[in-house]
A and B are shown apart, each in its own frame.
Chain A
Amino acid sequence: MAEQREGVETGKDFKHNLPGRHRAARVWQVAFQASTMIGIIALTALLYSIVNQSFGLVAIQNQVDPKALAVDGVPLEKLSKEQLVQILQENVSEGLFRRLESDQPFAERTREDVYGLVMERVVEPQVVRTWSLYDSLFKRAVILAEAPEAYPGAEIRFVSWIDPEFVTTPQSSDPEKAGVRTAILGSLWMIAITVLFAFPLGVGAAIYLEEYARDNFVNRLIRTNINNLAGVPSIIYGMLGLAILVRALEPLTSGKLLGVADPTTANGRTILSAGLTLGLLILPLIIINAQEAIRAVPSSLRQASYGLGATQWQTIWHHVLPNALPGILTGTILSISRAIGETAPLVVVGASTFITVDPAGPFSKFTTLPIQIYQWTSRPQDEFRNIAAAAIIVLLFMLLTLNASAVLLRNRYSRRLT
């Protein structure tokens, strides 16, 4: 400041200083642009690291070389069903063979099925090493040259960790076979409960605060409180869910009270508890968004409705809500996408670490997509990182679909209303 004042006074110094000021302006403009660029770079790096792990070369080693299983020079792929059954009988334990027989007699199985069993139980291909997409593309030659020495007999193959099978198969302890089916279904069940719980209550609270509430102590308290709740860390909601829903309300959340509890897991760590916990978590967000949408409805509409003799509720139901609906829905969908990505409260509420059966209803134990990602990321083996990346792509795709549907829904509604 002092410089400037001096400059103005003498005139000469002012002109002298001008290039300096312009230089500073340019430098800082670059700095501001750079910080924006860093944000973009961060996003790019994030997406890169996910894609980089979702595809790439793998080295697969077989327990038994398929060539060794060839009968009379006929390769394994071309053997008849009977020969395959014999190979199976020779190479697996008697107990396992009997179990497979009792699952479905070999006489009834197709050749492809038996071939699959031979591959799975006898040949047992295992991923011994994975490479990232970057390495697979740009250092392919080096990998192909070095891999045979490090992993003798291994087959080097390019795999995409995310494929239709990944989405439709259930969880497994074997990363090559693991899928996210149970996790996706768990997420959907949980979100359904969250929405059923939070949407009516949230919109109800917003209507009360915007249309009915007078400016008194209780209502001011509710308003401040909702703002504060929106800032509470999500993990605290998890602890609330653990203490109240899982523990205190166990008879209700485990389904014992309704006589539908799952006998193997009769505790409160169910989809219902998780859904309600997330419902409480997004309630403030839904309320705040719905309040804004209701506030945006012009008061002339309300006055016109009152002028025609409508009661307050008639006015709200027939005029305010339909007009505020696009805004309310958008806010709700954004809150839902927040809930779908939540992990911490669900870990605290007690998501199951390993489930292979589909959730049967609100009283089943649960796992969700983010929980699955968290668990796979925490494993030390590389293959789990790969499937974690694949699961992230599924999750991001779900969120993208949801947000796109929010935009579409809003556009459609607002067109009809205006």
Chain B
Amino acid sequence: MQEELAVIAKNTITGAAGGVTVGQADLRKRPRIKESLIQGFLFLCGALSILTTVGIVYELSKESLSFFTRQLWEDTNKALMVDIDAQMRSFKVSEGGAAIQVGDIIRIHDEVMQIIVIDGSTITVERGLQGTEILPHSAGVDLFASNRVSLIEFFTGIKWNPQIGQFGIWPLVTATLMTSIIAMTVALPLGLGVAVYLSEYASDRARGILKPILEILAGIPTVVYGYFALTFMTPLLRQIFGIETVDIYNTASAGIVIGILILPLVSSMSEDALSAVPRSLREAAYGLGATRLETAVRVVVPAALSGITAAFVVSISRAIGETMVVAIAAGAGPNFTFNPFKSAETMTGHIVRISGGDISYDSIDYNSIFAIGLALFFITLTLNIISQRVVRHFREVYE
């Protein structure tokens, strides 16, 4: 009996192998070059995303590094008092102007020198540094001192104007913070309200009308919101608070409109979190005699809190990275102010304005926007990672 079965099985296998080859079928794994090539190509597609990240980090870091290490020449307001030839190493310079110290790098015309000794107004230098040519110079030529962008100034300074050597990022950061805080003040309560309404109160019909409307809001390009801020929100604010108090370009208008822009994001992510809360929790609350509000606010929202938090964090990141609204409506020109009705330039707005003109590579402006970009990248990346962590926690609870 068993032998018979084995014969049948053997015949069936030979049949499946094509029925042409008589005898044993070759069941060994054959190498499939085409399959491996395709798999390799698909892997490269996936790996491109890593390459993108590496590219972003590398380019931003590279240009930021050259921003922090580049030599900036500042006029010391000192001038050469005597004619010097190519051999002279000690010479008199005029008094007054900025202080110089032993070890400072200075530049006269195109020649770079380092100060070795200072004796009153006479200085002794080592000449022809950094590969520059040693040349005679005539009296009256200005001395320039080398300066670098210090990290301390970058993170603490309250004036930003790279062209004249002011490198404090704070005016840009405060403007970004203001627009983002205003945006979140608008979007968080409203977004959560919309989410609770849609998931706990709205009938199916109402939801069928409201959700597409929110999707339309989400699909409108940001430049249109910028237009809206400038031509609708700003005049409205000026009408309410007076033309004297509200500038034409101001962070309040930009912030409110960013709030409207991220409202659909907050509401749809929060609503997803709310609808993921199991029905049994709601029914338990109703069974205890809770009203619909009490169920929503004391049971459903706390249960979905991690998802809602994730939505909030993602929205903050979106608000910080939002560009066109602030570029159009918040103003052009860094301004260290906490008045939301004054114009101020955010980090993203500054990048857009600087790169919008014909910017030359290796200029201080070109490098500076990459330093700002790097700061922006890390802020948003941190926020996104936090939100992903929170979401993962949330998934662990309800799966």
Interface positions of A (Cβ within 8 A of B)? 21-22, 24-25, 28-29, 31-36, 38-40, 42-43, 45-46, 48-50, 53, 200-202, 204-205, 207-209, 212-213, 219, 221-222, 224-229, 231-240, 242-244, 247, 280, 283-284, 287, 309, 311-313, 337, 340-344, 347-348, 350, 370, 373-374, 377-378, 385, 388-389, 392, 395-396, 399, 403
In the complex, which residue of chain A has the Cβ closest to the Cβ of B56? A240
Chain B residues with CB under 8 Å of A222's CB are 46-47, 49-50
Chain A residues with CB under 8 Å of B279's CB are none
B241 within 8 A of A: no
Chain B residues with CB under 8 Å of A242's CB are 355
B105 within 8 A of A: no
Chain A residues with CB under 8 Å of B377's CB are 232-233, 236
C-alpha spacing A374/B326, complex, angstroms: 12
- In the complex, are the beta carbons of B388 and A213 less than 8 A apart? no
In the complex, which residue of chain B has the Cβ closest to the Cβ of A38? B190
C-alpha spacing A341/B223, complex, angstroms: 8
Provided the pairs A287-B49, A370-B221 are in contact, do residues A35 and B351 lie with their beta carbons within 8 angstroms? no
C-alpha spacing A97/B277, complex, angstroms: 77
B270 → chain A closest CB, angstroms: 12
Q: How many inter-chain residue pairs (CB < 8 Å) link A and B?
A: 252
Interface centre among A237, A344, A350 (most CB of B within 10 A): A344
Chain B residues with CB under 8 Å of A392's CB are 224, 227
C-alpha spacing A33/B200, complex, angstroms: 11
Chain B residues with CB under 8 Å of A28's CB are 293, 297
- In the complex, are the beta carbons of A243 and B370 less than 8 A apart? yes
Interface digits, B368-399 against A, CB 8 Å rule (1 contact, 0 not)? 01100100110011011100100000000000
A313 → chain B closest CB, angstroms: 5
- In the complex, are the beta carbons of B39 and A244 less than 8 A apart? no
C-alpha spacing A175/B330, complex, angstroms: 25
B123 within 8 A of A: no
B338 within 8 A of A: no
- In the complex, are the beta carbons of B35 and A32 less than 8 A apart? no
Which of B90-98, B153-161, B314-322 forms part of the interface with chain A?
A: B314-322
C-alpha spacing A31/B196, complex, angstroms: 10
- In the complex, are the beta carbons of B232 and A49 less than 8 A apart? yes
In the complex, which residue of chain B has the Cβ closest to the Cβ of A402? B219
Provided the pairs A25-B291, A46-B228, A239-B373 are in contact, do residues A342 and B221 lie with their beta carbons within 8 angstroms? yes
10 contacts between A and B (CB under 8 A): A32-B200, A40-B213, A43-B216, A208-B39, A208-B45, A233-B348, A236-B321, A240-B56, A244-B59, A283-B52
Chain B residues with CB under 8 Å of A396's CB are 220, 224
Chain B residues with CB under 8 Å of A342's CB are 221
- In the complex, are the beta carbons of B60 and A239 less than 8 A apart? yes
In the complex, which residue of chain B has the Cβ closest to the Cβ of A200? B45
Provided the pairs A28-B293, A35-B193, A283-B52 are in contact, do residues A213 and B59 lie with their beta carbons within 8 angstroms? no
- In the complex, are the beta carbons of B323 and A235 less than 8 A apart? yes
A95 → chain B closest CB, angstroms: 31
Give the number of chain B interface residues (Cβ < 8 Å): 90
- In the complex, are the beta carbons of A235 and B351 less than 8 A apart? yes
Q: Which of B224, B228, B320 contacts A45 (CB 8 A)?
A: B228
C-alpha spacing A28/B292, complex, angstroms: 10
Provided the pairs A35-B189, A201-B48, A243-B370 are in contact, do residues A377 and B226 lie with their beta carbons within 8 angstroms? yes
19 new A-B contacts at CB < 8 Å, known A46-B225, A374-B223: A35-B197, A48-B232, A49-B227, A221-B50, A225-B53, A227-B388, A231-B314, A231-B381, A232-B377, A232-B380, A235-B348, A239-B355, A280-B52, A284-B49, A347-B356, A370-B324, A373-B223, A373-B224, A396-B224
A304 → chain B closest CB, angstroms: 15
Q: Which of A36, A207, A395 contacts B194 (CB 8 A)?
A: A36
C-alpha spacing A226/B291, complex, angstroms: 43
B230 within 8 A of A: yes
- In the complex, are the beta carbons of A208 and B46 less than 8 A apart? yes
B330 → chain A closest CB, angstroms: 12
What does DSSP make chain B's interface, helix, strand, loop or mixed?
helix
- In the complex, are the beta carbons of A229 and B53 less than 8 A apart? yes
C-alpha spacing A394/B145, complex, angstroms: 55
- In the complex, are the beta carbons of B352 and A344 less than 8 A apart? yes
Provided the pairs A239-B60, A370-B223 are in contact, do residues A31 and B294 lie with their beta carbons within 8 angstroms? no
- In the complex, are the beta carbons of B293 and A374 less than 8 A apart? no
Q: Which of B210, B220, B352 contacts A36 (CB 8 A)?
A: B210
Chain B residues with CB under 8 Å of A31's CB are 193
B216 → chain A closest CB, angstroms: 6
- In the complex, are the beta carbons of A373 and B194 less than 8 A apart? no
Q: Which of A39, A48, A243, A247 contacts B217 (CB 8 A)?
A: A39
C-alpha spacing A129/B328, complex, angstroms: 23
Chain A residues with CB under 8 Å of B49's CB are 205, 222, 225-226, 229, 283-284, 287
- For window 259-311 of B, CB contacts with A under 8 Å fall at 260, 263-264, 267, 291-294, 297
C-alpha spacing A207/B194, complex, angstroms: 36
Chain A residues with CB under 8 Å of B56's CB are 232, 236-237, 239-240
Chain A residues with CB under 8 Å of B16's CB are 309
Chain A residues with CB under 8 Å of B323's CB are 233-235, 343-344
C-alpha spacing A219/B125, complex, angstroms: 58
B34 within 8 A of A: yes
Chain B residues with CB under 8 Å of A236's CB are 56, 60, 321, 373, 376-377, 380
In the complex, which residue of chain A has the Cβ closest to the Cβ of B63? A243
B198 within 8 A of A: yes
Chain A residues with CB under 8 Å of B293's CB are 24-25, 28-29
Chain B residues with CB under 8 Å of A389's CB are 227, 231
Q: When A and B form their complex, which 8 residue pairs have the shortest distance between CB atoms, in order from nearest?
A: A233-B321, A341-B221, A35-B193, A204-B45, A208-B42, A344-B323, A32-B197, A231-B384
Chain A residues with CB under 8 Å of B328's CB are 374, 377-378
- In the complex, are the beta carbons of B294 and A229 less than 8 A apart? no
C-alpha spacing A388/B76, complex, angstroms: 49
Chain A residues with CB under 8 Å of B384's CB are 227-228, 231
Chain A residues with CB under 8 Å of B376's CB are 233, 235-236
- In the complex, are the beta carbons of B385 and A228 less than 8 A apart? yes
Provided the pairs A25-B294, A228-B385 are in contact, do residues A34 and B193 lie with their beta carbons within 8 angstroms? yes
